[in-house]
Chain A
Amino acid sequence: MNRERRTRPGLRARVTVTFAVGALALSGVMAGITYLTARAGFLSERQAEFRRQAYVNASLVQNALRVPGTEVNQLLESVDTLPGSRSVLNTNGQWFATSISVGRSQIPAAERELVLSGTAASQTFTIAGTPEVVVGVPLPGVHAAYFEVFSLEEIERTLQTLALTLAIAAGVTTLAGAAVGQWAAGRALRPLRGVSDAAAAIAEGDLGTRVDAGDDADLSRLASSFNRMADHLQERIEREARFTSDVSHELRSPLTTLSASLSVLETQRDQLRPAGRRALDLLSADLSRFTRMVSDLLEISRFDAGSAELSLDDVDASELVRHAVVAAARPHGSDPFRAPAVPVVIEPAATDMRVRIDKRRFERIVANLVDNARQYGGGVRRVVVDAPAGAHGPGAFMRVAVEDDGPGIAPDERDHLFERFYRGHHAGRRGAGEGTGLGLALVAEHARLHGGSVAVEDAPGGGARFVIDLPVEPVAGSAGGDGPPEGTTSRVVG
């Protein structure tokens, strides 16, 4: 998945946000309802209590006022009030109060008049930011009215605490919702990740990768479609590779006949006329090229079919390269020329390096690079062996550079150079018919099979420099080689 290209949040993030918003809305509504219900219940309960209290006190005051000569202030003091509540009394037009903070002026005018005219009333209002309830009881028998002012502050505090608690609960629920969303999204996406991993594996060339369909009806459809697609793809790629392989195989039999017959003719070369000799040479040269082309095609079809395997040996790096260069310098089959010796430079870091390598493939790499240098690069100038990351340990690799005396490779050609049948600027300039067009492509494939790479750059002092990097120890798994002789098992046929 390409992170740069992602322009909107991922599915996982969106599911998480959706869950969080859902949880927030739900818990918010629930908290709101809970708060309002609790508040209404609380307040009506307290107001009933206040009224009861006020009536009890009012009747107390009425009884006391019936007794002549009662000291009103003392009477009010003696009234049993709830904590925080205060009494106000109007008797014969005179106002008395238990607290100096409360008096006639604190009782709303509307209620005052209503009660004095003989109707009981209760009202909630705010004094200096504090909510209060005033309950007024007319006492017509003694020409008085009793008011009691109750504070709602305590209830308000309780309700505030409740609101806070509910808000916190809503927040926690939201977070929990987000967590559940993320978990659910992850869980729902897990099979998708499986599909994406499988797709990546197939893209990497592991064509046999399939997705486990599982027992989920929705996902198994995706999985089975994916697997069907992979089957078709694999079938098609294998069919193509098999075709190349079959064609090459079929060509082997006539090639064997041609080669054997030609060798008979070659022993009688001296008896031929000059034109016959020339024809024989042409035949011989192109037969050897044809033979190499067929084996190169077979080799590359094995890479395409994914059936190429490493056969690893533990060898001394400098010895390996020297032998490979000598073998590469030997002329092909009946090619008439002898190649000059190629200097091999072993850098100090690489002197005692040992590598685990497929010798045959390495020999092909070097042979193809040497061939390439001969055809297009004016011959090999030198071959350099180095170990830029040390001779052993993790990350250690062998670097083999083949330098030629040619004009070098233009930068725009370098990327295409390792493509099959790429001719580039040499198109139409085929020399003595040496190349198969697959040489450098095979170099890249052999290197890749080892977990290595190949690149081309300018050689110091002109010419091209082909650089092969091969790990000292190919990663297990990439190699299907037969390893140590002891452990080799083989299929017994027949």
Chain B
Amino acid sequence: MSTILVVEDDERIRSSMRLALEDEGHDVVDVASGEDAIEAFSQRPADVVLLDLMLPGIDGFDTCRAIRRTSTVPVIMVTARSDTHDVVAGLEAGADDYVTKPFVAKELGARIRALLRRTRRADGDADVLSFGDVEIVPDAGVVRRGGDEVHCTRTEFRLLTELARNPGKVLSREHLLEQVWGYDYFGDGRLVDVHVRRLRTKVEADPANPRFIITVRGMGYKLAV
């Protein structure tokens, strides 16, 4: 049984989401504000956080950043519109994925299951993957850079592992969306772009001029060897 923290200020939406998620067998904690969310999370860390971006007081972006400071918990943000800067800003604040209102409960359930499945332990053939001074231990779910452990979210870890498993090979955004997020061809490429940016700040010496995670214009990304 997994615990889901639902942060949503609209009472009826909150209640219906609680009903739907409980119906799917999750344990639900629901709160109506960012302050309450940070408080609730510090008392009882959830397995997944469902975070509305438009909140009174501390908004969803800041709430996400606050949670990210202490945890790598998967965060799905709930946005009003998918074509605004909200999506990119939310991803940059640390969200793993997003859904747009009005979302279909089934779709949300599928996204939650995909995130929960995204365990650190990826079934790998190699014990240790490495490039430059970065070392990935798939079995242990650990990333080290120059010997120090790097804190990655599960999504970042999966993304990095996928790139490290295919050194020198160009991986399209569609491929990465499918492998890491479980999306099909029409998944939102911005998920990949923002996560790659975040990953660079963790494993690259100079994130603005990456040496390892390279953008191949019009094609996708590759790990330079």
**Chain A interface residues toward B at CB < 8 A:** 249, 251-264, 267, 288, 291, 294, 298, 302, 308-309, 311, 313-314, 319-320, 323-324, 327, 333, 354, 356, 359-360, 363, 482, 484-486, 488, 490-494
The chain B residue sitting closest to A320, CB to CB, is: B185
26 contacts between A and B (CB under 8 A): A253-B101, A255-B101, A256-B102, A257-B10, A257-B12, A259-B102, A259-B104, A263-B104, A263-B106, A264-B19, A288-B104, A313-B173, A319-B185, A323-B186, A327-B186, A333-B106, A363-B186, A484-B215, A484-B218, A485-B189, A485-B193, A485-B196, A485-B215, A488-B190, A493-B86, A494-B61
The chain B residue sitting closest to A332, CB to CB, is: B104
B-side contacts of A494, CB under 8 Å: 59, 61-62, 65, 89, 93
Partner of B219, one of A254, A314, A486: A314
Task: Give CA–CA (A291, B106) in the complex, Å.
Answer: 14
Are A253 and B10 neighbours in the complex by a CB distance under 8 Å?
yes
Partner of B102, one of A294, A308, A313, A491: A294
The chain B residue sitting closest to A323, CB to CB, is: B185
Are A263 and B62 neighbours in the complex by a CB distance under 8 Å?
no
Are A259 and B186 neighbours in the complex by a CB distance under 8 Å?
no
Partner of B13, one of A257, A267, A491, A493: A257
Distance in angstroms from B199 CB to nearest chain A CB is: 12
Interface assignment of B148: CB less than 8 Å from any CB of chain A: no
Tell me the B55-107 residues at the A interface (CB within 8 Å).
59, 61-62, 65, 80-81, 83, 85-86, 88-89, 92-93, 101-106
A-side contacts of B103, CB under 8 Å: 256, 259
Interface assignment of B16: CB less than 8 Å from any CB of chain A: yes
Interface assignment of B117: CB less than 8 Å from any CB of chain A: no
Task: Give CA–CA (A252, B184) in the complex, Å.
Answer: 25
Secondary structure dominating the interface of A:
helix
Are B189 and A313 neighbours in the complex by a CB distance under 8 Å?
yes
Interface assignment of B142: CB less than 8 Å from any CB of chain A: no
B-side contacts of A255, CB under 8 Å: 101-102
Distance in angstroms from A308 CB to nearest chain B CB is: 8
A-side contacts of B160, CB under 8 Å: none
Task: Give CA–CA (A252, B219) in the complex, Å.
Answer: 35
Partner of A257, one of B16, B80, B81: B16
Give the B interface residue count (CB, 8 A).
46
A-side contacts of B185, CB under 8 Å: 319-320, 323, 327, 359
Task: Give CA–CA (A319, B10) in the complex, Å.
Answer: 41
Distance in angstroms from B162 CB to nearest chain A CB is: 16
The chain A residue sitting closest to B59, CB to CB, is: A494
Are A291 and B19 neighbours in the complex by a CB distance under 8 Å?
no
Interface centre among A249, A359, A485 (most CB of B within 10 A): A485
Distance in angstroms from B13 CB to nearest chain A CB is: 5
Beyond A257-B12, A363-B186, A488-B193, is A249–B85 a contact (Cβ under 8 Å)? no
Task: Give CA–CA (A258, B215) in the complex, Å.
Answer: 42
Beyond A253-B13, A327-B186, A333-B104, is A493–B59 a contact (Cβ under 8 Å)? yes
Distance in angstroms from B25 CB to nearest chain A CB is: 10
Task: Give CA–CA (A262, B105) in the complex, Å.
Answer: 9
A-side contacts of B12, CB under 8 Å: 253-254, 257
Interface assignment of B20: CB less than 8 Å from any CB of chain A: yes
Interface assignment of B125: CB less than 8 Å from any CB of chain A: no
Are A492 and B80 neighbours in the complex by a CB distance under 8 Å?
no
Interface centre among B89, B105, B193 (most CB of A within 10 A): B105
Are A260 and B93 neighbours in the complex by a CB distance under 8 Å?
no
Task: Give CA–CA (A359, B20) in the complex, Å.
Answer: 31
Given contacts A257-B15, A333-B104, A485-B193, 15 further A-B pairs with CB under 8 A are A251-B102, A256-B13, A259-B104, A259-B105, A263-B20, A263-B106, A311-B83, A314-B218, A323-B186, A333-B106, A482-B190, A485-B192, A485-B197, A490-B194, A493-B85
A-side contacts of B217, CB under 8 Å: 314, 484, 486
Tell me the B187-214 residues at the A interface (CB within 8 Å).
188-190, 192-194, 196-197
Are A488 and B88 neighbours in the complex by a CB distance under 8 Å?
yes
Distance in angstroms from A243 CB to nearest chain B CB is: 16
A-side contacts of B109, CB under 8 Å: 263
B-side contacts of A488, CB under 8 Å: 88, 190, 193
Interface centre among A263, A267, A311 (most CB of B within 10 A): A263
The chain B residue sitting closest to A322, CB to CB, is: B185
A-side contacts of B65, CB under 8 Å: 494
Distance in angstroms from B117 CB to nearest chain A CB is: 20
Task: Give CA–CA (A326, B188) in the complex, Å.
Answer: 17
Are B192 and A264 neighbours in the complex by a CB distance under 8 Å?
no
Interface assignment of B122: CB less than 8 Å from any CB of chain A: no
Distance in angstroms from B52 CB to nearest chain A CB is: 10
Partner of B89, one of A251, A311, A490: A490
Task: Give CA–CA (A319, B13) in the complex, Å.
Answer: 39
A-side contacts of B13, CB under 8 Å: 253, 256-257, 260
- The list of the 7 closest CB pairs from A to B, nearest first, reads A314-B218, A263-B105, A494-B61, A255-B102, A260-B16, A485-B193, A323-B185
Partner of B19, one of A261, A308, A319, A482: A261
Interface centre among B85, B93, B186 (most CB of A within 10 A): B186
The chain A residue sitting closest to B210, CB to CB, is: A486
Task: Give CA–CA (A360, B185) in the complex, Å.
Answer: 10
Task: Give CA–CA (A356, B215) in the complex, Å.
Answer: 17
Task: Give CA–CA (A188, B21) in the complex, Å.
Answer: 71
Partner of B80, one of A249, A261, A308: A249
A-side contacts of B127, CB under 8 Å: none
A-side contacts of B188, CB under 8 Å: 360
A-side contacts of B105, CB under 8 Å: 259-260, 262-264
B-side contacts of A294, CB under 8 Å: 102
Task: Give CA–CA (A298, B15) in the complex, Å.
Answer: 26
Are A252 and B102 neighbours in the complex by a CB distance under 8 Å?
yes
The chain A residue sitting closest to B88, CB to CB, is: A490
A-side contacts of B15, CB under 8 Å: 257
Task: Give CA–CA (A254, B102) in the complex, Å.
Answer: 8
B-side contacts of A257, CB under 8 Å: 10, 12-13, 15-16
Distance in angstroms from A225 CB to nearest chain B CB is: 35
The chain A residue sitting closest to B21, CB to CB, is: A260
B-side contacts of A291, CB under 8 Å: 102, 104
Task: Give CA–CA (A225, B104) in the complex, Å.
Answer: 50
B-side contacts of A259, CB under 8 Å: 102-105
Task: Give CA–CA (A259, B188) in the complex, Å.
Answer: 23
Interface centre among B16, B17, B23, B109 (most CB of A within 10 A): B16
Task: Give CA–CA (A333, B110) in the complex, Å.
Answer: 13
B-side contacts of A302, CB under 8 Å: 83
